[in-house]
Amino acid sequence: MSGFRIKLSRSLRNKVHGSWMTVCLVFVISMPVIIAGGLYWKSSVLLHDHGVFSLIFSKEWKPLSGQFGFYPFIISSIWVTMTALILAAPICLLTAIHLTQYAKRWVLKIMHPVIDILAGIPSVIYGVWGILVVVPFIGNHLGTWLGKSVSGYSILAGGIVLAIMVIPFVLNILIDVFNNIPTELSEASLSLGATRWQTIKFVLVKKGLPGIVAAFGLGMSRAFGETIAVLMVVGNVSRIPSGLFQPGYPLPALIANNYGEMLSIPLYDSALMLSALILFVVVLGFNFVSRYIIAACDKRC
């Protein structure tokens, strides 16, 4: 009898647990949908007024006269992100290869927590460091060296700070990628007369390609969305940057600088919501693309 009762209550408990888990799951899954929906709803006023294309490709940002051109901000974001990625990619790849293929095991053991600590430093600190070191370096040294008169607050400064920020993040994934490749695969290549470097180039990088793409895709979406550190060093001038030494004004900085301040201007909050939506869609896009490439590569190799 008592056994029966336990059974009943257990199945009941399972059901309760089950339904709670379902609720949580639905909540987590619906989060992005709710966010996207909210952003769209808030920005739809502006979208209806101007149309997507004219907003994205228009260069004029004059909120007081009702002109909301996002082009300079989007271009700034792309510039900063690409600069960061181009700077970070070789460093990450070579460091990961060195740590997993050449370094003694204790080096990797020390580096792992170091990388984790670097990844955990709050971005404001990277921003402060950027103002103290990177901006003056570009303004005083690099600028004079290249014979340009620049302030230092520039796309390049943002790119450098961002690169430093995403390096530990990407490096962590890359180390896992290379560590997960079975050593027998390198042994096979070496036993065919390949050198270590040939093995890395032709076999390991190829085998790890989906993971490498994923690492950089995720790093890119992180760089694209990073706000505070970039905002502190990038200059924040709403003009289309024409070079690395020009100031820029990426989307996240636009939102962070202006939200809650100039909302008395008609459509302004709608415009900021739209930039948030663009940010959201782009970051989601990066994620989807990297995942798609992983899936495609998994099938091929």
Partner 1 sequence: MDHTKINISKLNLYYGRQQILKDINAGIPEKKITVILGPSGCGKTSLLRCMNRLTDLHPQARLTGNILINGKDILNTTDDITSIRKMMGLLAQRPYPLPMNIYNNIAYGLRISGRMNKRMLNKRVEHYLRQVSLWDEVKDRLRDPAVALSIGQQQRLCLARGLAVDPQIILADEPTSALDPLSSQAIEEKFNELKENYSIVIVTHILRQARRLADHVIFMYMGEVIEQGPADAFFENPKLEKTKLYLRGMFY
List residues near partner 1 by CB under 8 A.
104-105, 182-195, 198, 202-203, 206-207, 300-301
Contact 99, 108 (CB under 8 A): yes
Region of residue 195 (left: phi > 0; alpha: psi -120 to 50; beta: else): beta
Q: Which is nearer to partner 1, 107 or 125 (CB)?
A: 107
Q: Which is nearer to partner 1, 28 or 301 (CB)?
A: 301
The pairing of strands 61-62 and 67-68 is antiparallel
Shortest reach from residue 236's CB to partner 1, in Å: 45
Shortest reach from residue 171's CB to partner 1, in Å: 21
- Whole-number Å distance between alpha carbons of 116 and 107: 14
Q: Which is nearer to partner 1, 133 or 194 (CB)?
A: 194
Classify burial at 266, counting beta carbons within 10 Å of its beta carbon; exposed 0-12, middle 13-18, buried 19 or more.
Answer: middle
Shortest reach from residue 214's CB to partner 1, in Å: 16
Q: Which is nearer to partner 1, 82 or 190 (CB)?
A: 190
Q: Which is nearer to partner 1, 5 or 105 (CB)?
A: 105
Shortest reach from residue 286's CB to partner 1, in Å: 25
Shortest reach from residue 194's CB to partner 1, in Å: 5
Shortest reach from residue 176's CB to partner 1, in Å: 17
Q: Which is nearer to partner 1, 119 or 209 (CB)?
A: 209
- Whole-number Å distance between alpha carbons of 236 and 253: 7
Shortest reach from residue 193's CB to partner 1, in Å: 4
Question: CA–CA distance from 82 to each of 79, 160, 236, 251, 296 (Å)?
Answer: 5, 11, 18, 14, 24
Using DSSP, state whether 208 is helix, strand or coil: coil
Shortest reach from residue 100's CB to partner 1, in Å: 12
Q: Which is nearer to partner 1, 50 or 207 (CB)?
A: 207
Residues 6+ apart with CB under 8 A from 5: none
Side chain identity, residue 286:
F
Give rounded-to-5 percent helix, strand, coil for the chain: 80, 0, 20
- Whole-number Å distance between alpha carbons of 250 and 231: 8
Residues 6+ apart with CB under 8 A from 252: 77, 225, 226, 227, 230, 231, 279
Write a three-state SS string for 113-147: HHHHHHHHCCHHHHHHHHHHHHHHHHHHHHHHHCC
Q: Which is nearer to partner 1, 56 or 190 (CB)?
A: 190
